Amino acid sequence: MRTLAAGVFVIILVLPFFGCKKEQQYVKPLTLVKTAAAEDYKEGSALKYSASVVPNAVVNMVFKSSGYVAGILQVKDIDGRLRNVQEGDFVKKGTVLASVEQKGYREKVSQAKAQLAKARAQLAKAKLDYDRANNLFSAKSMAKPQYDETAAALGTTEAEHNAALAQLREAQIAVDECSLVVPFDSLVFQRNIENGSLVSPSVNAFTIADTSTVKVVFGVPDVMIKAFKNGDAVRVFIEAHQGVEYKGQITRIAPFADDQSRVFNIEVKIPNINQTIKAGMIASMLMQRAAVSGAEITVPLNSIVRPSDNSTGFAVFVVEDQGGKHIARKHSVAIGRIVASRVSIEKGLNRGEKVIVDGQNYVSDGEQVKLAD
The mean pLDDT of the chain is 85
Whether 346 has a pLDDT exceeding 80, the answer reads yes
Q: Which helix (H) or strand (E) holds 9?
A: helix 2-23
Kindly report, residue by residue over 118-138, the tens digit of the pLDDT: 989 998 998 998 899 888 888
Which pTM does this prediction carry? 0.57
Whether 21 has a pLDDT exceeding 80, the answer reads no
Cβ neighbour number for residue 182 with a 10 Å cutoff = 19
List the CATH number of the domain containing 125: 1.10.287
Whether 364 has a pLDDT exceeding 80, the answer reads yes
Regarding whether 111 and 92 lie in a shared domain, the answer is no
DSSP state of 39: B
Q: Model confidence at 292, in pLDDT bands (50, 70, 90)?
A: very low
List the CATH number of the domain containing 73: 2.40.50.100
pLDDT value of residue 229: 87
pLDDT value of residue 47: 63
Whether 322 has a pLDDT exceeding 70, the answer reads yes
Rounded to an integer, the average pLDDT of 106-129 is: 89
Regarding whether 188 and 87 lie in a shared domain, the answer is yes
Regarding whether 186 and 89 lie in a shared domain, the answer is yes
Whether 149 has a pLDDT exceeding 50, the answer reads yes
Could you list the residue range(s) of the whole structural domain that residue 195 is in? 58-99+180-207
Regarding whether 37 and 142 lie in a shared domain, the answer is no
pLDDT value of residue 271: 92
Whether 4 has a pLDDT exceeding 70, the answer reads no
Strands of 40-108, DSSP E: 46-62, 67-72, 74-76, 82-84, 90-91, 96-100
Regarding whether 321 and 195 lie in a shared domain, the answer is no
For β-strands 245-253 and 264-271, DSSP reports them as antiparallel
Does residue 217 sit within a domain?
no
pLDDT value of residue 8: 47
pLDDT value of residue 41: 67
C-alpha–C-alpha distance, residues 316 and 137, integer Å: 97
Rounded to an integer, the average pLDDT of 7-18 is: 49
Residue at a domain's end among 155, 176, 197:
176
Residue at a domain's end among 167, 190, 207:
207
Does residue 50 sit within a domain?
no
Whether 2 has a pLDDT exceeding 70, the answer reads no
Indicate the range of 130-139, 316-325, 332-341 predicted with least confidence.
Answer: 332-341
pLDDT value of residue 287: 67
* Residue predicted with more confidence, 137 or 303: 303
How many domains does the structure of the chain reveal?
Answer: 3
pLDDT value of residue 339: 67
Indicate the range of 45-49, 124-128, 317-321 predicted with least confidence.
Answer: 45-49
List the CATH number of the domain containing 346: 2.40.420.20
Regarding whether 168 and 75 lie in a shared domain, the answer is no
Whether 6 has a pLDDT exceeding 80, the answer reads no
pLDDT value of residue 226: 76
Kindly report, residue by residue over 159-175, the tens digit of the pLDDT: 999 998 998 888 888 88
Regarding whether 185 and 171 lie in a shared domain, the answer is no
Cβ neighbour number for residue 361 with a 10 Å cutoff = 10
Indicate the range of 89-93, 111-115, 287-291, 369-373 predicted with least confidence.
Answer: 287-291
Q: Model confidence at 16, in pLDDT bands (50, 70, 90)?
A: low
CB under 8 Å to 41, separation ≥6 — which residues?
291, 292, 296, 298, 339, 342, 344
Kindly report, residue by residue over 221-280, the tens digit of the pLDDT: 777 787 788 998 888 999 889 889 999 999 999 999 888 777 899 999 999 988 899 999
Whether 85 has a pLDDT exceeding 90, the answer reads yes
DSSP output for 160-203: HHHHHHHHHHHHHHHHHTTEEE-SSSEEEEEE---TT-EE-TT-
Regarding whether 128 and 62 lie in a shared domain, the answer is no
Does residue 153 sit within a domain?
yes
Nearest to 59 by CA among 188, 173, 177, 174: 188
Does residue 26 sit within a domain?
no
Regarding whether 198 and 88 lie in a shared domain, the answer is yes
Rounded to an integer, the average pLDDT of 192-206 is: 91
Does residue 316 sit within a domain?
yes
Regarding whether 202 and 187 lie in a shared domain, the answer is yes
Does residue 215 sit within a domain?
no
C-alpha–C-alpha distance, residues 74 and 83, integer Å: 5
Kindly report, residue by residue over 263-281, the tens digit of the pLDDT: 899 999 999 988 899 999 9
